[in-house]
Structure 1
Amino acid sequence: MFSGNVFRQRQFCLVVGLVVFAIALSNRHVSIAWSQETIVNPNIVLINADDLGWMDLKCQGSKYYQTPNVDRLASEGMRFTNAYASASNCAPSRACMMTGQYGPRHGVFTVQNSDRGPAKARKLIPVRNKTSISEDHFTIADLLNSVGYQTISIGKWHIGKDPLLNGFDQNVAGEHIGHPGAKQGGYHSPFSYVNCVSESKGEYLTDRLTDEAIKFVNDNQSKPFFLYLPFYAVHTPLQPRADKKKRWKSIEAQPGQSNASYAAMVESMDENVGRLLESLDKLGLSERTIVIFTSDNGGHWAISRQAPLRAGKGSYFEGGIRVPMIVRWPGRIKPGTTCDEPVINVDFMPTFAEISGAKIPAKQTIDGVSLLPVLMDSKAGLKERSLFWHFPVYLQSVSRASGEFETHDSRFRTRPGSAIRSGKWKLHEYFEDGRLELYDLESDIGETENVASVRPEIANRLHAELEKWRDDAGAPVPTDLNPKYSPAK
């Protein structure tokens, strides 16, 4: 028998223990709720449009494009207003997304060579660029394969010879090409892509890729799957379906958005998103399938303006890196919600890891964070952090027209530099002259007023953080002068 004092002491210890346990549970409320409510290994569908700008959807504010199916996805899920690609053009953005790593860790900074643009206008010798991620890199496909997912890539790969070499079980139409070129046949059949051949006329590539996606879903409905659907659309060449282009010629244009061919391609992409969603509904898979819709970089400025954002694809102003992003998961994500938290596509890897229970190898540094807290509650917020971009190379303009891309000169969409976003502030650093540009995105989303000289304390703080990040990430900075440089020219 216990004495009265001993009994009371043990009672007190028990109460204290229960209180401590309750506090621990409350601090882990997201994870506990998640473990109780989730379906084990939910299906994951990642739709990655190509060159679709932040303002190229009706749900994003466009008064020209018609996108009822993507709009439906937004009404049934969560739309992110401050979502970013990790780079402003195709290959580096996809490399970052697939590995969960910023560019300095895999070395893919641009498409093709790093010295693009007129030689006499390049003050620095750019760093060497890689065009592929290594086969040793752990990818999202490797991650999900490790816990029993069936994985497939259908569409544009562009960061290696074959997605099968980077963890995927199946590949349809993915190779080391950046757009539907003449060699493959473009958007209209007859065309010949890897495991995607059509010898007759009348088949449209975006339709065919969706047919392949629906077939994969049907074949794998009884097991967890990861469907990566990187449409080639809406990348150039502008080759819409003839029936859709004809209809768009009669639709009233809007300032900066008036290209009927491009609008018809956006419509085809949207229509096929709807076809895929419908197939998930018919198979009863919607409630155990997470659907993510996004784009690999900003829109093509010369084809579709992204106002109020500045510039477009290839630039590190907002128009080149801010992208649409929508996530739907019926029963888990509250429908019709928006989230203003700044997020970036390196966040997908850790998010999928937490959702699936898969483990990321300790040897692979991950730069993103799990978005699960904000997916469960759009107001929950994430741990305070900054977002980074690094571009130690040159990317030429596609036109000599002065100011066509709302950038600094007509020769380049961007020159070598880095950028950081921290809260409402965004800092650009340019390596040729050390120039700093600071913008308050809360009051100046168009990055029209450089306030670095009037807010030097913020500019200096962000610059120091940016320099530290470059050191930590091993980011190469070009310093050697180009002997061919001729400023007079």
Structure 2
Amino acid sequence: MSVFIKLKSGLLSVPIALFTMSFILNSCKQTQPVRKNPNIIIIYADDLGYGDLSCYGAKAFSTPNIDSLANHGIRFTDAHCSASTCTPSRFALLTGSYAFRNNAAILPGDAPLIINPKKETIASMLKKAGYATGVIGKWHLGLGNGKPDWNNSISPGPLEIGFDYSFLIPATPDRVPTVFVENHHVVNLDKQDPIAINYDKRIGNDHIGLEHPEMLKMQADSQHSGTIVDGISRIGFMKGGHKAYWKDEDFNTVLNEKAKAFISENKKQPFFLYYALPNIHVPRVANAKFAGLSGLGPRGDEILEMDWMVGELMGTLKNLGIEDNTLVIFSSDNGPILDDGYADKAVQLLGNHKPAGMYKGGKYSAYEGGTRVPTITFWPNRIKPAESDALFSQVDFYASLASLVGNKEDIAPGTAPDSEDMLKVMIGKSKTGRKQLVEEAFTMSLRSGDWKYIAPFKGETPSWLKNKAVPTGLQASPQLYNLLDDPTESHNLAEQYPNNLEKLSKSLRDIMKQKENLANK
């Protein structure tokens, strides 16, 4: 028996069995379920300011790959990291808890893990939802239970807080140890040349910057004048592990290859990749193919290198056919800094470039330039191109991603205590952001709508911070600004609006007194 199919040229006789099989196959193809949960990638830049990208107003150079994310996604104008320094922001992002609840501060390179393995993280939450989880790049959240033994298995670390795979710069590029750690072990370690590090006194016979400045690619301040590795003196002292030393110029290729491999190996299942770029943290030593391209010196060159890294990653998603099912979040861990210990001419070659855009301050600062950072969400066919002025924080990633994968109701009491569900904001379904937002620096600040309160600073400014030439906001008296009228925080209104001052001061005190929400007790 046959059926007749009407064509423009006439009727075509087709055996019914063949027609039926074709109909079934086509029906199956059309109704094949699309995977429910998307891949999630957080690309986390380091020390990148609000005005450091061409999609955020930079004129000195172009960042076409990141611009493409912004042009086809949502570009946020009032999104914040939770602190103006790296370790606290990273802690808050992964745990959904403000860093002050755990007394998280900038860590030395031999610090223990500061995230309690018994507590949930974004990685462990997504792992429960069926995700493969990986972290690649700068860590700076500590490793081990005490002083890490770099010559043996190093744990606990990322694998104990929800990640299936890790490839790390253990602390920062300017701190020892200057080696990569993959999962629990130092990469390329020669056991006949064991590693030892010390942050209090010199160890070993390797040259140090204070004694041999002629060996350096760039001069450094006294804080950064410890052991010389790859022609750069670092914070701290190190001996051994010479075959495991990294080359700063190779960060872009080494880290990108690891990231692309993780994506390729997990393309058939939902995956979460926390890709923490070292760019543009000091020491700024871009790969040779980017050196000199920006006209702004090594700092600008590393921004161009970072943009290339993002482009390569996005190209991998396209080539694997998974870009449409991947949510990409791009942001930075704190605001910009120019002179941060090395003589790389970041100040001298700045020209008219404004790393923080119109905003005051930068890294280490309580002003807006410290935490207001470039933030972009990109998800083809799910996120429509837009600009959003919604107020939200990276501490909200936890609850928002839990909502995305259907795990919001499973968040246990005490987990992610400061995280709010901003999923609709992140994917462009709403522009209603937070009502209040904490900003951490060496003092605390509170945003409430257009108002911002900066608490008085009662401590002593660290000596190394006094040399940074950045407005810190560390004042003995309270500060109050209306950012709608005064986005540059130039006019302190504390005396004119005492009621507003007291209201915001009380709100901040109440938030900090919520002991039941401590995430690591």
TM range, smaller chain: 0.7 to 0.9
Question: Which SS does the other structure have where 2:75 is aligned?
Answer: strand
State the match for 1:24 in structure 2: none
The match for 1:264 is 301
Query: Paired residue for 2:490?
Result: 448
Residues of 1 paired with 2:453 and 2:517: CA distance?
Answer: 17
Q: Does 1:426 align with 2:477?
A: no
Task: Determine the C-alpha separation between the residues in 2 that align with 1:368 and 1:463.
Answer: 21
Q: Does 2:327 correspond to 1:290?
A: yes
Residue number in structure 1 paired with 2:164 = 169
Q: Distance in 1 between matches of 2:417 and 2:512?
A: 15
Compute the displacement of 1:421 (Å): 0.1
CA deviation vs aligned residue, 1:106-158 (integer Å, no higher than 9, x gap): 22133449xxxxxxxxxxxxxxx997222222111100111111001001111
Paired residues for 1:40-119 under 5 Å: 40-112=36-108
Q: Is 1:110–1:131's contact at 8 Å kept on the other side of the alignment?
A: no
1:341 pairs with 390, 395, 403, which one?
390
Instruction: Give CA-to-partner distance per residue, 1:420-439, whole Å, 9 cap, x none.
Output: 00000100011428621001
The match for 2:172 is: 178
User: Secondary structure of the equivalent of 2:452?
Assistant: strand
Offset at 1:312? Answer: 1.0
8 A Cα contact 1:306 1:319, kept in partner: yes
Does the residue aligned with 1:242 lie in a helix, a strand or coil? coil
8 Å CA contact 1:96, 1:103 repeated in 2: yes
Residues 439/219 of structure 1: CA separation in 2 closer, same or farther (3 Å cut): same
Describe the SS at the equivalent of 1:64: coil
Output aligned runs, 1:329-368, within 5 Å.
329-335=379-385, 337-358=386-407, 359-368=410-419
Matched AA of 2:448: S
**Structure 1 stretches of 5 or more lacking a match?**
1-36, 114-128, 187-191, 252-258, 392-413, 477-489
* Cα deviation, residue 62, structure 1: 0.9
Q: Measure, in 2, the Cα distance between the counterparts of 1:471 and 1:390.
A: 15
Quote the offset at 1:198 in angstroms: 7.6
- C-alpha distance in 1 between matches for 2:248 and 2:336: 28
- Following superposition, the deviation at residue 326 of structure 1 comes to 0.3
Superposed displacement of residue 281, structure 1: 1.0
C-alpha distance 474-453 of structure 1, shift in aligned 2 (>3 A): farther
> Which residue number corresponds to residue 14 of structure 1?
none
| Pairing 1:148–2:142 present | no
2:267 aligned partner, one-letter code: Q
2:505 paired residue number: 463
Name the SS for the 1:430 alignment partner: coil
Counterpart of 2:4?
none
TM-score, scaled relative to structure 2: 0.69
2:398, 2:416 within 8 Å by CA — same for their partners in 1? no
Shift of 1:194: 4.5
Secondary structure at the aligned position of 1:204 is classed as helix
Please say if residues 108 and 130 of structure 1, whose CA atoms lie closer than 8 Å, have aligned partners that are also in contact. no
Offset, 1:171: 0.6
Specify whether residues 343 and 130 from structure 1 end up closer, same or farther in structure 2 by C-alpha distance, changes over 3 A only.
Answer: farther
Deviation of 1:389 after TM superposition, in Å, equals 3.1
Q: Structure 1 CA distance, aligned partners of 2:139 and 2:49?
A: 19
The CA distance in 2 between the partners of 1:419 and 1:38, in whole Å, is: 44
Q: Which amino acid letter does the alignment assign opposite residue 450 of structure 2?
A: K
Do the aligned residues in 1 keep the contact of 2:95 with 2:416 (CA within 8 Å)?
A: no
1:212 aligns with 2:258: yes
Contact 1:172 1:194 in 2 (8 A): no
- Please give the alpha-carbon distance, in whole angstroms, between the structure 2 residues aligned to 1:53 and 1:200: 26
Residues in 2 aligned to 1:75 and 1:152: alpha-carbon distance in whole angstroms: 27
Change (3 A) 1:299 1:380: closer
Shift of 1:202: 9.9
Q: Which moved more, 1:40-49 or 1:195-204?
A: 195-204
Paired residue for 1:319? Answer: 369
Q: How does 1:352-391 map to 2 (within 5 A)?
A: 352-358=401-407, 359-377=410-428, 379-382=430-433, 385-391=435-441
- When structure 1 is superposed on structure 2, of 70-79 and 293-302 the one drifting more is 293-302
1:315 Cα deviation from its structure 2 partner: 0.8
Q: How far, CA to CA, are the matches of 2:293 and 2:260 in structure 1?
A: 27
Q: What's the RMSD between the two structures over aligned residues?
A: 2.8
Partner deviation per Cα, 1:244-278 (whole Å, 9 max, x = no partner): 22333xx4xxxxxxx31111111111001001111
**Equivalent residue, structure 2, for 1:138:** 120
Pairing partner for 2:272 from 210, 226, 236: 226
From 460, 470, 477, the equivalent of 1:435 is: 477
Is the 1:90–1:111 Cα contact (8 Å) retained in structure 2?
no
Matches within 5 A, 1:267-278: 267-278=304-315
Assess if the C-alpha contact under 8 Å between 1:111 and 1:131 holds in 2.
no
Q: Does the aligned pair in 2 maintain the 1:79–1:327 contact within 8 Å? A: yes
Match of 2:292 in 1: 246
Could you list the per-position Cα deviations for residues 213-256 of structure 1 after superposition, in whole angstroms to 9, with x for gaps in the alignment?
A: 111111111001001100111100011123322333xx4xxxxx
The alpha-carbon deviation at position 314 of structure 1 amounts to 0.7
Q: What is the DSSP-based 3-state SS (H/G/I as helix, E as strand, rest coil) of the residue aligned with 1:452?
A: coil
* CA-CA distance at 1:321 after TM superposition: 1.1
* 1:300 aligned residue (337, 340, 349): 337
Aligned-partner Cα distance in 2 for 1:202–1:466: 41
Give the TM-score normalised by the residue count of structure 1: 0.73
- The 3-state SS of whatever aligns with 1:91 is helix
